[in-house]
Structure 1
Amino acid sequence: MQRFLIRVALLGLVAVAAGLWITRPKADGAEVLAGLTADAGRGEMVFTAAGCASCHMAPEAEGEARLVLAGGQSFPSPFGSFTAPNISPDPAEGIGDWSALELWNALHHGTSPDGQHYYPAFPYASYIRMEPQAVVDLHAYLQTLPADATPSAPHAVPFPFNIRASLGGWKMLFLRPGWVMAGDLTAEEARGRVLAEAMGHCAECHSPRNALGGTKTGADWLTGAPNPAGRGSFPNLTPPALDWSQDELVEYFTSGFTPEYDVVGGHMAHVVENLAQLPESDRAAIAAYLKRLPLDG
């Protein structure tokens, strides 16, 4: 019996070790970005479309202060409360010493430079669809922003969700690089897909989630979801629930006014601020993408 128990224990240890190896944080090598030349001007558009400042600026920051990415905003969820970190170019407290490859691995794999899993409150489940060129350009632009030495605040995540090793299993289940809207798209719709599914990460708020926090796709894609902070919900973006015309959507993305002359509020106000800085063709592309919804199950 003692030998049997020892064998069972050893098999258990082997299984745990194998599981940890399979679900270890992934990272790509330098070849993924080889031959790419960074353009900070293009990177500014990526930064704006991705809404980096909306989450990583200091709480209540306005105007030019929005470009000081000191972090500190809190984002409650059923799994705990997550605090946006400092991603300014400060080399000690921010990400000033990150390489473009380290930024790629954070955005694409949810892996930190020191080889740890990031929580998916950082929307890498959407950013995984970003192209290498966009990440290289974004890295170049981030380096031009003001540095800030504010230390990043810790998350408030209770057991068992504070066990970061478990995130490897979450990634195996839910981290997928492919597009959600497949099929034969126009050039405008394809551009809208890049903005909505990747950089703009619309599904992070507007798609329902399963019990493990994975975003539902198929017929559930962008059909609305409860606010994880517990106040209200995010609306359904699929027709016929959203019956605005493409022109009305473009106007909303530009001015924040709905066809009923209501005005955007809450966190969506930051999204509209970002969208309004993009070329009108990009706002029209997002609208065209939304008009192609809903997806089949």
Structure 2
Amino acid sequence: MLKTWFEIPLWQRVVTALILGVLTGWAWGPDAESIKWIGDFFIKAIKMLVVPLIFFSLVSGVAAIGDLRKLGAVGGRALLLFVVTGQIAVWLGLGLGTLIQPGAGVDTSAIQMGETPVPNETTAVDMVLSIVPESPVQVMADVAVLPLIVFSLLIGIGILMAKEEGLPVQKVFDSGAVIMQKVTMIVMELTPFGVFALMAWVAGTLGLDALVSLAKLVGLNYLGCLLIIVLIYGSMIKFLARLPVRDFFRGIVDAMAVSYSTASSNATLPVTLRCAERNLGVSNSVASFVIALGATINMNGTAMYLGLATLFGAQIFGVDLSMGDYFLISILA
């Protein structure tokens, strides 16, 4: 029985658990919260991997590229791709919000307005300084991903510059990256149980009634994500990467299922790395570098939702936005 379970592909177990979790939650109701701890345990186990996985994989990946020029070329293309897809995503959200107007006609009589919090003033200088870690140990303890990436990049670049003298240290990080991949494979076996518990909790505690007033927004959010996946990513995979679209999506099913159930880019990072390397054949050097960076600064679904949600709020309260406001939203998102 146990052998048969492990013979089933992980993505099939995860998708089945997701569906069964939703059905169980609807049938069980609010009492489904009693198994939420299983999902919390799974998320904690995933997040436990984030810091060592990024650190070892990114340093190993940068060092494995072997050349600073190649590193710059890969990083430059990745950043360009992040900016382009991010802008497409946010303008997609703005377009859907303008066309469908999910906030129009929403009854605001039951909304109680509290005091508007005063945000902390953050300058561009503060943002730049925030990515430079004062203490790498503190960064790791706080799971501050962006400063951790900067520190890891510097270590990897230092190994490249050290050349032969850096090889012993590079081997340590290579071994650490392999070990973390093995640990990730162990934790990934918990995925079906975690996904089942989380989806049962969500379906049982929220149900459909809580989503009625937000039906348009929720529906448009799902539609936007679907369009990003099918049209934007599908087109890039077919015409730029020249890969079979079906094989690509089959290879990343595990990552999509975990990201949907946890709603966390960082929590999905170990699964994404595993899918890219094992299922799609991406080299460890490129995968660890680009995916770790992308999980932090390339969240297209979030960018799309921010554009959509901003218009939703403006429409609820009758605020007219100009084209200049649209451009400002696209930059800030």
Does the TM-score normalized on the shorter chain lie above 0.5? no
Q: Which structure's residues are more often helix, by fraction?
A: 2
Structure possessing the higher radius of gyration over alpha carbons = 2
Q: Which structure's residues are more often strand, by fraction?
A: 1
Scaled by the length of structure 1, the TM-score of the pair is 0.24
Scaled by the length of structure 2, the TM-score of the pair is 0.22
Greater relative contact order (CA < 8 Å, ≥ 6 in sequence): 2
